[in-house]
Amino acid sequence: MAEGVHGCELRQVVLGFKVEEAGSRWLTHDEISDGVLEAARADRLLTIIGQTEPWSAKP
């Protein structure tokens, strides 16, 4: 439960990046919205969209 907000449950969505043959790139708007909608439907406490490691591989 979010601190100080009665009846509000906290969910986290972490945005990462994608690594492809040509290199890495940030997520597209569609990938982000699809991931957030799926996270909400699944009611997960934590969702990571894309990859976050290794951070040195980010675009």
The per-residue pLDDT string of the chain (59 residues; one tens digit each, 9 = 90 and over) reads 567 778 888 899 999 999 999 999 999 999 999 999 999 999 999 999 999 999 999 99
The pair of three-digit structure tokens given for residue 6, joined into one six-digit string: 């009665």
Which sequence spans correspond to the domains of the chain? 12-57
Residue for token pair 């040509």: 22
Residue 41 has what DSSP assignment?
Answer: H
Contact 59, 25 (CB under 8 A): yes
**pLDDT value of position 1:** 59
d(CA 23, CA 45): 30
